[in-house]
Amino acid sequence: MEKSVLPPDYRSTPLLASMVVQMKQWLTYQFCQLQKGSLKELFFHTPVPHYLLPEETGTQDLNFYSSVPKERTHSPSHKYTPVDMPGGLLAGNWGLISPIGTAHIPAQPIGLWQLTADLLKAGSWEYNVQTDHFLSTDNLPSLFKAPSKSFNSFSTIINLLREEDQKSLREHWELAVAYGATFDQTVRLADHTATEVWLQMKAKPVFKDTALLKVVGTVQDVSEHVHQEQQLIRAKTSAEEATRAKTEFVSLISHEIRTPINAIIGLTHLLLQEEKAGQENRNLQSINFSAQSLLSLINNTLEYSRIDMGKVELEQVNFNLKDLLKNIYQSLALRAAEKQLAFDLILDPHLPQEITGDSARLTQIINNLTSNALKFTKQGRVSISAEVLYQSDKDCVLQFAISDTGIGIHPDQQEQIFENFVQANASIHRHYGGTGLGLAITKQLVELQKGTVKVESTPGKGSVFTVKLRYLKEQAPAVKAVPATAQAQDPNSLKEARVLVVEDNEFNQMVVSQLLAGWQATAELAENGLVALEKLKDKAYDIILMDLHMPFMNGYDAMAEIRKLGLKIPIVALTATVGQEEKLRIAAVGANDYLAKPFSPQQLYQKLSKHLQLLEEKTVVMV
């Protein structure tokens, strides 16, 4: 009867189960070199070699069994074919269809397998389930940093691992031996060095017919790969933390910068409402213009930061296109008049009245391009035009063109002006100022909306910037956009309204209080959230204006506490950042709306009127 042993010639040869596929390919190639007709058919049933030593002949037989149970058996009458292989003479039980003669295969260097194993930092092992015999390659102990020259059991391997890994691997091993289960585990050696050693251990059963003969496996040192993964994870975590810190910084600096600008613009507006002498009025106009220019610079810088961090998200709101373009035109008309420039707004009569898209981004794009045109034009004309290139029942493609008779741009510089922090030449900054971000941001905002922007320019004659964007027609589910400026104000819409102003900046308190007084509304001031909560316990208010960044209790916490009290009073959050995350955050704590700093008096009036009107409508319905 045949018995399973490992021949002496192969005891020193590493048998890597993970490389048996290569062994099979090599054997196949060698057999195909035999003379025609000497080999009719060859079967490979398993990637794991099993050695047989017939007692009578003393011939070393190489047999391949299946790694899954086989119902099919081969005829025992098939003859062995002696094969010369490195390490000794093998008789292969290949399941030949017909007997063939002896084949001689050229010898291969016996160190090839050892070299491959060393390069892969891998070894293999084999456990005979029936004889309880454990064998392994010579290099396996070195992978486990073990002093012994060989392992006599799988338990020896398990005991070399960290305690937290031992239990899991032992459970998998028991399933493999009992039921022929496979496993693939990455484990760590017991901590006896400064650097962790990670080993990947794989196991696979070998069946003959339905009987589990053995479990074979491989071990590979994957420490370098794991350490690289850990380093990448640490780098990713560090980058995410840096991004969060950057986001918080942008939010904070946005608040700190916009708050005083809001006061400057508001106070200037109040002074301009009074009758002032000619020079005094011109001085106020200059202050207002400078504040608006500073605001534009800050907006561009902060917008660049948001784009750079991937924080810009496009909104889908229904808005009146013609009203939006007229508002942009009116907001820039004074600047054109100051430079004695002709300023035109040309609208295609076929423009759709209502479209769906990001109205704020379109405003920013048109405003940036038109502001640039006004800046670089000393005399002549600046025009804003809008026309329809394509239109259907569902969508439309619109072209916006901003043309001027300004200094123009040299052809060599027309591409680079859309790059970050780049201006056409150094003299531009000396004469006109700016950061070189306006056009870069414009291009990024256009491309975020899947549109295009290009420039045609002749030095000394002027430029034309053309933007093409696709918009959906008005969709019922979308949110209705709020116009950039208020329509005609109803002088009585805020009369006797009780407004709680929660704001820590004294200048902004003064501005808002005076504006509300001018609209015949009553303002009650609270310097932080705690004071606001105390006032709400004693008095009733029609609406709350809530700043977000305040000492002792910020606006987020204050709004959350107000809602916990069950109060349904409308709250308008005053925020310096209006990204999607900020909108979701303030909505989550109970805000009904938001107003971005710095805001114009018209914008404040409109927000208050809107929510007081809604409140009045709800009251009428309840009655």
Tens-digit pLDDT profile for residues 440-462:
888 988 998 999 999 998 888 89
Which pLDDT does position 450 carry in this prediction? Answer: 92
Residue 98 or residue 366, greater confidence: 366
pLDDT bin (cut points 50, 70, 90) of residue 616 is low
Tens-digit pLDDT profile for residues 131-149:
999 988 888 888 888 877 6
Which pLDDT does position 3 carry in this prediction? Answer: 38
Residue 582 CA to residue 572 CA, distance in Å, equals: 13
For the chain, the C-alpha Rg in angstroms (whole number) is 40
- Whether residue 621 has pLDDT greater than 50: no
Mean pLDDT calculated for residue range 561-567: 90
Classify 48 as helix, strand or coil.
Answer: coil
Which pLDDT does position 112 carry in this prediction? Answer: 63
- Whether residue 293 has pLDDT greater than 60: yes
Tens-digit pLDDT profile for residues 404-413:
998 888 877 7
> Which amino acid is located at 533 in the chain?
L
CA-closest candidate to residue 434, choices 298, 341, 312, 333: 298
Mean pLDDT of the chain: 74
- Whether residue 578 has pLDDT greater than 70: no
> Which amino acid is located at 330 in the chain?
Q
Tens-digit pLDDT profile for residues 580-594:
778 888 889 989 988
Tokens 């070393």 -> residue: 60
- Whether residue 192 has pLDDT greater than 70: no
- Whether residue 307 has pLDDT greater than 80: no
Q: Which CATH superfamily is domain 317-477 in?
A: Histidine kinase-like ATPase, C-terminal domain (3.30.565.10)
- Whether residue 524 has pLDDT greater than 50: yes
Which pLDDT does position 598 carry in this prediction? Answer: 76
High-pLDDT (> 90) share of the chain, %? 22
Q: Which CATH superfamily is domain 498-622 in?
A: Response regulator (3.40.50.2300)
Which pLDDT does position 136 carry in this prediction? Answer: 86
- Whether residue 107 has pLDDT greater than 70: no
> Which amino acid is located at 20 in the chain?
V
- Whether residue 62 has pLDDT greater than 80: no
Length of the chain: 623
pLDDT bin (cut points 50, 70, 90) of residue 43 is very low
CATH number of the 8-221 domain: 3.30.450.20
pLDDT bin (cut points 50, 70, 90) of residue 244 is confident
Tens-digit pLDDT profile for residues 473-494:
875 544 455 444 444 455 567 8
Which pLDDT does position 53 carry in this prediction? Answer: 35
Most confident of 29-43, 265-279, 313-327: 313-327
* Helical (H) or strand (E) element with 400: strand 395-404
Residue 179 or residue 105, greater confidence: 179
Residue 24 or residue 322, greater confidence: 322
For 399, other C-beta atoms within 10 Å of its C-beta total 17
- Whether residue 400 has pLDDT greater than 90: yes
Which pLDDT does position 532 carry in this prediction? Answer: 92
The DSSP letter of residue 607 is: H
Q: What is the largest CA-CA distance in the chain?
A: 126
Copy the structure tokens of residue 162.
């960290």
Which pLDDT does position 114 carry in this prediction? Answer: 64
Most confident of 77-91, 194-208, 301-315: 194-208
Residue 247 CA to residue 255 CA, distance in Å, equals: 12
- Whether residue 345 has pLDDT greater than 90: yes
Shared fold status for 8-221 and 317-477 = no
Q: To 10 degrees, the CA torsion angle through 33, 39, 43, 48?
A: -50
pTM of the predicted structure, to 2 decimals: 0.48
Residue 584 or residue 424, greater confidence: 584
Partner residues linked to 357 by β-bridges: 317
Tens-digit pLDDT profile for residues 352-392:
989 999 888 898 899 889 988 998 898 999 999 999 999 99
- Whether residue 44 has pLDDT greater than 70: no
pLDDT bin (cut points 50, 70, 90) of residue 308 is low
Which sequence spans correspond to the domains of the chain? 8-221, 317-477, 498-622
Burial (Cβ within 10 Å: 0-12, 13-18, ≥19) of residue 172: middle
Which pLDDT does position 434 carry in this prediction? Answer: 47
Which pLDDT does position 172 carry in this prediction? Answer: 92
Contacts of 180 (CB under 8 A, 6+ apart): 205, 207, 212, 215
pLDDT bin (cut points 50, 70, 90) of residue 430 is very low
